[in-house]
Amino acid sequence: NGIMHFKTFRCGLHKVLLCFFYGTGLDQNHGGDYAAFENMIERFVSALRVCGVSPYVVMDGGSDPSDRKLETVNKRVTNRIQRAHRAAVSGQQLDILPQLAKLVFKQTLARLEVPLAQCYAEADHEIAALAAEWQCPVLSNDSDFYVFELQGGFLPISLFRWEEVKQTGSHQYIPCKRYNTSSFCIFFNIQPQLLPAFAALAGNDYVDLRKTDSTRKWAQVASDLEGLLHWLKGFQQPQDAFEAAVGMMGDMNQKKKGELLQGLFVGMEDYKIHPSSLKKFFIHGIAPPFIPGKEVREALSGFAKLSPNILDVLVLGRMSLSTTVDHKDKPSAVLVSRPIRQVMYALLLGIRCPRGVEERDRVGLELKVTSVQPAFRGCLQVLLETLGVPQDCLGRLPSDLRLQVAATCYWLKKATPPPDLRVLKALLLCTELSLVCFVAAAQNQHYNHKLDMDVSHSLNQWQACLKDSLRLNQLLGRPLPEPQTSRLYEGTIVHHIIWRMKSGLKLKKLDPPSVRRYRSLLAATRRFSIPEPATPSDTQQKATASPQQQKQQQPLTDLTTSLKQLFLLYDDDDEEVETEAHSGIRGERDALLDDLVSVRTRYKTKERNKHCNSTELVHKQCKGIL
């Protein structure tokens, strides 16, 4: 329909926005460029609003309880596993969504106050119903929306030029293409009621005639979609077309013919629009009903607070796990956080679960299903007990760091093989420093280093621990504040920091408060799990040292003591306590950091917190960090 001038109206946004945005120029192979992803979402929403568009986002929930799509889903997961390995080996971008992308997407939309609903099952029907009632268009790339009859039309994302906002008179608009089923039917000269039949005949989750065709007649008719449309011109009603198609299948008994016809009719019903169950939620905040009960219903409903995987655990006893860019010879990165998930299963299902929960994960390049038993120790402090962090140690830690630090502690104790100290250093740097600074400083740099498989695997494990810690925290009602995920990790930057460390290069121009906090975090966390990489001279000294000296050189493993020390070090307001805590480790701490960071300037804390809102100031302050 050419260029569409947007005016004030609602726009339904499909869940594929998430994958579409992340596949548009963002790095996928280093674990996620979350700050850049957040920035892209912000710019997209701003472009809509400046044109008077009110976006409403609807996302998928759990899997179809009927499992009619299970075979298709398994094939897609296996394909994704294979693509992830190829991406790790070749460096190609092969559309592997980073582990925390969905959470960043949800958090950013919530912060921008964009209405967001998460369905109990697939979102397509709810989006179509909502769009039909509001007479607004749907923005997506899902081919199903070429079939739904929507008065407001369908806007393919690939033809939606949101970064090219135009102006005519006093109005701004987004150039795009709008599709209508009526125009499609006129162009191909078929009856509108045959469009759902066309979709069913082309292949659906209930029946695929191509697998049943023994005479190859149907294969000739439906060799391509345009040929199928040409064949449908000769029919007025779906039933006539279905009976003619089944008649081409060769000799079969009446029962088999009836099953095929029923499958085609059921497939066609998928495109029938029913009343929306989300309209009341968006307008009045009333969640649609759900079987497990009020508490679970409210947690899982339109606010999209919990992962859709929780629904699969409740309804199907199944958990589909993330696929990470990793080498096939490495064990799955999500194995490290299985004990966290076992506590989640116990909370959801109870300890006595005869079959356990089916975890769908990879072994090598194959999809494998493993039964995992719930495990719950019954303590009141479920989250901290699971992560191994004492409650009294979190009091002095800033609220936005508590969950992340606890998850990092868990990772340091459980990861196999143990993480390299340089990986921890890089993660702590990105925790302490503004990632916007890193991105601004790195905009004109290209990091084309070959992916370090060991580093990538270790960081994948850290993200798995953080992701499942966030899920458990959500399930428990957020006893710890949920951190802004986009500020915790920026994949290409973390990998580049580690590369610079290994190359003996330095990072420059960190403000003194950042350096102090970074030193404190590093000195405390490394004491209970990670030794410095050994050098030849270190190895010689260790070999000649006395047993008592060797004992003193071993890293401390008392997590309680280490965390208490960390929180004391963080409190800048208590100079006396800070000085006392520093005295025992100042020498070690300074030695660890001096080879990495040189301090050349000082910024006030308020200026450091404000500078991320100004691109010009960010570039000025962050130039030369990397």
Confidence of residue 535 (pLDDT cuts 50, 70, 90): very low
Please report, rounded to a whole number, the percentage of residues in the chain having pLDDT higher than 70.
69
Taking the C-alpha atoms of residue 197 and residue 238, their distance in angstroms, rounded to an integer, is: 6
Higher pLDDT, 607 or 326: 326
Q: Rounded CA gap, 492 and 30, in Å?
A: 6
Give per-residue pLDDT as tens, 402-417.
888 889 889 998 999 9
User: What pTM did the predictor assign?
Assistant: 0.76
pLDDT for 162: 92
For the cut 90, the answer to whether the pLDDT of residue 531 exceeds it is no
Which distant-in-sequence residues (6+ apart) come within 8 Å of 275 by Cβ? 129, 133
pLDDT digits (tens, 9 = 90+) for 82-128: 999 999 999 888 888 899 998 999 999 999 999 888 887 788 888 89
Give the lowest-confidence range in 88-102, 182-196, 198-212, 334-348.
198-212
Domains and their CATH numbers in the chain: 9-60+97-185 (3.40.50), 205-269 (no CATH), 380-540+552-622 (no CATH)
* Helix count and strand count (H, E) for the chain: 30, 12
Question: How does pLDDT run across 148-194, given as a tens digit for each residue?
Answer: 999 899 999 889 999 999 998 888 999 999 999 999 999 999 999 99
Residues 6+ positions from 231 with CB-CB distance below 8 Å: 221, 222
Peptide bond into 417 cis (omega under 30): yes
The predicted structure's pLDDT at residue 624: 42
Task: Determine the Cα–Cα distance for residues 461 and 424; give it in Å rounded to an integer.
Answer: 12
- Sorting pLDDT into bands at 50, 70 and 90, what band is 253? confident
- Chain segment 476-514, per-residue pLDDT in tens: 888 898 998 888 888 888 898 898 888 887 766 567 777
pLDDT tens column, 412-435: 989 999 999 889 988 888 776 544
User: Higher model confidence: residue 197 or residue 67?
Assistant: 197
Q: Give CA separation, 463 vs 78, 150, 238, in Å.
A: 21, 40, 49
**φ and ψ at residue 140, rounded to 5 degrees:** -165, 175
Which residues does 151 contact at the CB level (< 8 Å), separation at least 6?
132, 135
Q: How many CB atoms lie within 10 A of CB 18?
A: 21
Using 50, 70 and 90 to split pLDDT, how confident is the model at 329? very high
HEC letters along 538-566? HHHHHHHCCHHHHHHHCCCCCHHHHHHHH
The per-residue pLDDT for 305 is: 60
Predicted local distance difference test score (pLDDT) of residue 84: 93
Q: Rounded CA gap, 456 and 328, in Å?
A: 12
Question: What is the pLDDT at residue 192?
Answer: 92
